[in-house]
Structure 1
Amino acid sequence: MNAPDPKRTVVMVVDDAIDSIRMISDALEGAGMTVLVALEGNQALTISQNITPDIVLMDAIMPNMDGFETCRQLKQNPEFLDTPIIFMTGLSDTEHVVMGLNSGGVDYVTKPINTTEVLARMQVHLTNARMARSARQALDTAGQNLFAVGRDGDILWATPQVHQRLTAGETSHQNELGQRLKTWLGHSPENGHSLTLDFLPEPHSVEFLTLVDNREYLLRLHEVQQPTAATAALREKFSLTGRESDVLLWIANGKTNREIGQILDMSPRTVNKHLEQVFRKLGVENRTSAAAAAIRCLARG
């Protein structure tokens, strides 16, 4: 399949009715858009493996796989995070409207299609999608690895880097992520508290920032480094516990108690308690002297 012209809006139309596709395609192409056609859900999923359209027009009722299930599966692809999906249906009752929105759709239009209305709605959703995509990319560029989840732990949105890190593993990892976040958030963590995600291919921690509109939890993803050789050297040299050596190592790296707490998934107060024991065992009175002792130990190692 040839790649679409990047300067033109790419629309994927998913519909099993040939006459309907022909009418819609003519209107979209007349508006200067590139049209990709799928006659059923599986065909749409196949196209999505190679091309991410700017917007999708989805027939709700199709044989084999209906539009609702097709939408759900498309939205599992991180590339479709900001791709608006508009349902086309002859069913305007509340049940089917809700099904469309719950499966990941942003809007619906009823058949027979009014192409002028469809084009107007498409422009609104395309503008919103591009603004959202630009905002996420800007946050990534600024090093703000942010994402939001609902009360069930499912990701509502994420910056591109976060999506890549959280969806890079197996499906079981993604299910584990949702369950852990749901349980953790159910205990109403305080701002700045962190959760360690040690089951991911690369260990990370999640910092709770705030609750938006009482339904959207804003979180920041942190990469957790595990310098085991260095902590082992400090533990042996100064007769420290594992946690004490972890704290001392990050003190030597110039981290604050708050930052160490985020990295090691503990409160700043707990970090301070470990630090008191570190001072006692090293025979020093402050973090500067402790850091210097640790650096000398590691330099000799």
Structure 2
Amino acid sequence: MTNIILVVDDEPANLSLATDVLESGGFTVLVSQSAEHALSILGEIDVDLVLLDAMMPGTDGFQMCQLMKKTPEYRDIPVIFMTGLSGQKDIVQAFDAGSVDYIVKPIQPAELLARVKTHLKNAQNTKYVYRAIDFSGHHFLASDVSGNLLWFTPQIPTMLDHTLTKGISCLPKDAMQWLLSCIQEPALADVRYRQPGRNDDFDIELSFMGQPDPGEYLIRLSIAKKGQEIACLQKRLGLTLREAEVLFWIAKGKTNRDIAEILSISHRTVNKHLEQSYVKIGVENRAAATARVLQALLT
């Protein structure tokens, strides 16, 4: 499978030259004469690298690069500027925007191919690391202090399925508040954030892992399946299956009537299981039972 390179330049002659060079190196080439059109291509096709001119009508190359780096789906695509601008200010601006390299026109074919191959290899190695982490069963994302996602391992979008994020770009308000609490109060770092998944079969759990770099906060994501949690309550609290199910839903804030409907049992039977469970776990009310259940599940 060949790598796909997107070349963005408003000059047809530059597009033609870059296409000839890249195709001679065995790459598949897509071209665009505007940043707006190029971004639409990125939304439809998995591009491996972008060669980008700096000065274009409308959205310029610097702005396009910044937009890419603010969009998690495009953030890891390497961007190489290929432009006639040679001033130090322009070069610095390109790297500040998030590019990995800067080539001043006229391009040298051998040099262009060498740079493209190197950055493709580096990007591929990063993908391999992320995939290896996912394959091992560990799923991570990084956020800034405002809850904007900086990066995430490949399975995160599938696992979240937009449950926790707004278009997979930032954490929701309550999760951001949880993160801020962890940052401001180190003693709260062991407190996990939980939110129901797409249905009642699982919960999404976030664990604060620390601050690997300034302004970057590492979070681990895991999926807690209801069946596994009920089995855990049975084992750790010495409950029957039905008692564990009733306490599980009590901890979720359900009323006795709700629980009766969920478990297809009578309201009186729910009360009986609750009374027996309270004795077994040494509590006297719903609030204490909820605290005991959460302690059992989170330790």
Whether the TM-score (by the shorter chain) exceeds 0.5 is yes
Does residue 240 of the first structure (1) align with residue 289 of the second (2)?
no
Which shows bigger deviation, 144-153 or 8-17? 144-153
The residue aligned with 1:206 is 206
Which residue does the alignment assign to 2:166? 170
Q: After alignment, is 156-165 or 223-232 more displaced?
A: 223-232
- Determine which of 179, 189, 194 is the counterpart of 2:186: 189
SS in 1 for 2:130: helix
Give the conservation status (yes or no) of the 8 Å contact 1:86–1:109.
Answer: yes
- Which structure 2 segments of 5+ residues have no match? 231-244, 251-269, 279-283
Matched, 1:231 2:276: no
Structure 1 unaligned runs (5+)? Answer: 1-6, 261-301
In the alignment, which residue of structure 1 is the partner of 2:237? none
Tell me, yes or no, if the aligned pair for 2:147 and 2:171 is still in contact at 8 Å: no
- Residue 8 of structure 2 corresponds to which residue in structure 1? 14
Kept in 2, the 8 Å contact 1:52–1:80? The answer is no
2:128 to 112, 122, 134: 134
CA separation of 1:243/1:32 partners in 2, compared to 1, >3 Å: closer, same or farther? farther
Distance 1:181 1:96 in 2: 40
- More deviation in 228-237 or 70-79? 228-237
- Secondary structure of 2:107 counterpart: coil
CA distance in 2, matches of 1:152, 1:240: 38
CA distance in 2, matches of 1:113, 1:152: 41
Distance 2:209 2:168 in 1: 26
TM-score (norm 1): 0.68
**Which residue of the other structure, out of 83, 89, 113, is the alignment partner of 1:89?**
83
**Alpha-carbon offset, residue 139 of structure 1:** 1.1
Provide the rounded CA distance (Å) in 2 between the counterparts of 1:143 and 1:131. 19
* 1:140-151 map, 5 Å: 140-151=134-145
Which whole-Å CA distance do the structure 1 matches of 2:112 and 2:178 have between them? Answer: 38
For 1:213 and 1:173, how far apart are their aligned partners in 2? 19
- Matched residue, 2:109: 115
Separation in 2 of the partners of 1:242 and 1:32?
65
RMSD: 3.4
Shift of 1:39: 0.8
The verdict on how the C-alpha distance between 1:107 and 1:77 changes in structure 2, with shifts beyond 3 A counting, is same
| 3-state SS of 1:62 partner | coil
Q: Structure 1 vs Structure 2: percent identity of aligned residues?
A: 30
TM-score, normalising length: structure 2: 0.69
Query: 1:95 offset after TM fit, Å?
Result: 3.9
Give the total of aligned pairs. Answer: 248
Cα deviation for residue 32 of structure 1 reads 1.0
Assess if the C-alpha contact under 8 Å between 2:79 and 2:100 holds in 1: yes
Which residue number corresponds to residue 24 of structure 1? 18
Report the alpha carbon displacement of residue 110 of structure 1 after superposing the two structures with TM.
Answer: 1.7
| SS, match of residue 174 in structure 1 | coil
Q: Distance in 2 between matches of 1:134 and 1:126?
A: 12
Q: Tell me by how many angstroms 1:167 deviates.
A: 7.2
The one-letter code of the counterpart of 2:193 is T
